[in-house]
Chain A
Amino acid sequence: MRIKRVAAIAAIAALSLGVTACGGGDEGGTGASGIVGKAQKDKKLVIGVKSDQPGLGLQTGSNYEGFDIEIGKIIAKGLGVDPANIEWKTTVSNNREPFIQQGTVDLVIATYTINDDRKKKVNFAGPYYIAGQDLLVKADSTIAGPEGLEGKKVCSVSGSTPAKKMQTDYPKVQLQQFDSYSKCVNALEGGQVDAVTTDDIILAGYAAQSQYAGKFKVVGKPFTSEPYGIGLKKEDKAGCEKVNEILKTAASDGSYKAAWDNTLGKSGTPAPTLDTSKLTNCG
């Protein structure tokens, strides 16, 4: 009796192993190394997020919260990983590609703009939100858009898309570069820079923080389009497609809207609709 039961369990185990092996084979052998395989095997994920962006990815103590974090939880759930088993890892704009390429993180969900240069190094699922580069200025500032910035001091994060955009399109701007936006906002408050530039959604998060209430305003004239994607390894096409599938489900079952309402939605901005026709083809 006992031996039979052990044999049966062994047979089931062998069978299920065989099935997973087949599944992996169907995906061209990338399943095992990709995030889908890792999620199945370890029931764990390491997700790179920002730690200093209120409303999007903010770390308080050992706790992370924000819209990007909620998206991360949705994707983990879709991959069969309990959100409690996600290891959040702080990334800054500068180290996101290296973190993905070196395998320090499995995914990056960190206000990460999809662009062609980055696509050469990493794969992108999404976009799950489309932001635009804008300016944060003091509440009484007369700056009305990027054209009024000549000779002005503008702060951004070194290595980020907004900083590059300033250097190439607005070379007469004096660019102050720090390693985080919080330092920029600090300098703006002190009057050392005239504006902080990055995506509108990030700036709105800062403007809404209680210690800055009423001090700043977002100019509200976005001059770029920044589709936020979810970065993963270049060769993990299967993982990318799976994440897109999860996003599609999230758009229809209301979990995307709930993620917004619990975070950025608190500023009063209604939830955007996730346009699933724009999802990448995981090239």
Chain B
Amino acid sequence: MHVFTDPVNLDAYLSGFLWILKLTGASALFSLVIGVLLAAARVSPIPVLRAFGAAWVNIFRNTPLTLIIFFCYFGLYTTLGLVLSDDLNLNNYWLGVLGLSVYTAAFVCEAIRSGINTVNAGQAEAARAIGLTFAQTLRIVILPQAGRAVIAPLGSVLIALCKNATIVGTIGVMESSNVMKDLINENGDAVIPIFLVFAGTFAAVLVPTGYFFGWLANRLAVKR
């Protein structure tokens, strides 16, 4: 374990995972917001919105994430000149968050839509009968029930998102997988230990996350 007793390597290791957490946190927030809006669009009575939601889901869910992240850098930034920050590292970070968010939002949307399907149609009919608009019905009656039904699947999406964040390394953010490559490059004799430490760190963070979402889902589920 001499690799991680060197303070320089330890710092690199920690900052690598800090980048992962930052990428995951911001993307989780944005993808949740976008995902809910997309789900709303997909069940709305307006055909254009439905088509927009369906197109988003089908395009981003079926495009490899590597391509999306690459497009954020070489398409949006390099070619179209979209600058998100003057600081190079932050700019790459936000481009990464953008790519992760639009991609993950597609999965969040589908999870929530499946939750909406679990809500009894009578609930919506009753809501409309007492004069609520579509938006009100969704906000007050449907989504709170749908949301509780999809906590466990959303947990899976979050776990996938955390692991997917390593792909942002391809556009230069020095996240954990980039740090791992660097460490392996400098310590070719310790490939297995380095690999195990990085994989183990992901497991140490994500296994409890999975259990937490399972527990939350049990607590909050609407019992029918």
- Residues of A bordering B, CB below 8 Å: 93-98, 100-102, 117, 121, 153, 158-159, 174-179, 183, 186-187, 190, 192
Contact = CB atoms under 8 A, between A and B. Distances in A.
Contacts of B74: 183, 186, 190
Interface of B: 74, 77-79, 87-89, 92, 170-172, 174, 178, 181-182, 184-186, 188-189, 191
Nearest to A97: B188
Contacts of B88: 153, 174-176
A216 to B, nearest CB: 16
Contacts of A159: 181-182, 185
A183 B191 CA distance: 27
B89 A101 contact: no
A102 B186 CA distance: 14
A192 B77 contact: yes
19 contacts: A93-B185, A94-B181, A102-B188, A117-B186, A121-B188, A158-B172, A158-B174, A158-B178, A158-B182, A159-B181, A159-B182, A174-B89, A175-B88, A176-B172, A178-B171, A178-B172, A186-B74, A186-B78, A190-B74
Contacts of A96: 185
The interface centre, meaning the residue of B181, B184, B185, B189 with most chain A CB atoms within 10 A of its CB, is B185
Given A100-B188, A121-B189, A176-B88, 9 more contacts: A97-B188, A98-B188, A101-B189, A158-B181, A176-B172, A183-B74, A186-B74, A190-B78, A192-B78
Contacts, number: 55
Contacts of A174: 87-89
Contacts of A117: 186
B78 A94 contact: no
Contacts of B170: 178-179
Contacts of B191: 98, 102
B119 to A, nearest CB: 47
B185 A97 contact: yes
A178 B74 CA distance: 12
B130 to A, nearest CB: 56
Nearest to B77: A192
A158 B169 CA distance: 10
Query: Shortest 8 CB-CB distances between A and B: which pairs?
Result: A190-B78, A174-B88, A101-B188, A98-B188, A97-B188, A159-B185, A177-B172, A94-B185
Contacts of A175: 88
Contacts of A153: 88
Nearest to A192: B78
Given A153-B88, A177-B172, A179-B170, A98 B78 contact: no
Contacts of A183: 74
Contacts of A98: 184-185, 188, 191
Contacts of B184: 94-95, 98
A159 B174 CA distance: 11
A153 B87 CA distance: 9
A177 B174 contact: yes
Nearest to A96: B185
Contact of A190 (B79, B89, B185, B188): B79
Nearest to B189: A101
B148 to A, nearest CB: 43
Contacts of A179: 170
A266 to B, nearest CB: 29
Contacts of A177: 172, 174, 178
A101 B186 CA distance: 12
Nearest to B83: A192
A174 B191 CA distance: 29
A165 B77 CA distance: 27
A177 B88 CA distance: 10
A158 B79 CA distance: 23
Contacts of B171: 178
B92 to A, nearest CB: 8
Nearest to B79: A190
A96 B181 CA distance: 12
Contacts of B182: 94, 158-159
B185 A95 contact: yes
B129 to A, nearest CB: 57
Contacts of B92: 176
Contacts of A93: 185
A178 B178 CA distance: 10
B76 to A, nearest CB: 11
A83 B69 CA distance: 40
A116 B172 CA distance: 27
Contact of B78 (A95, A97, A101, A187): A187
B84 to A, nearest CB: 12
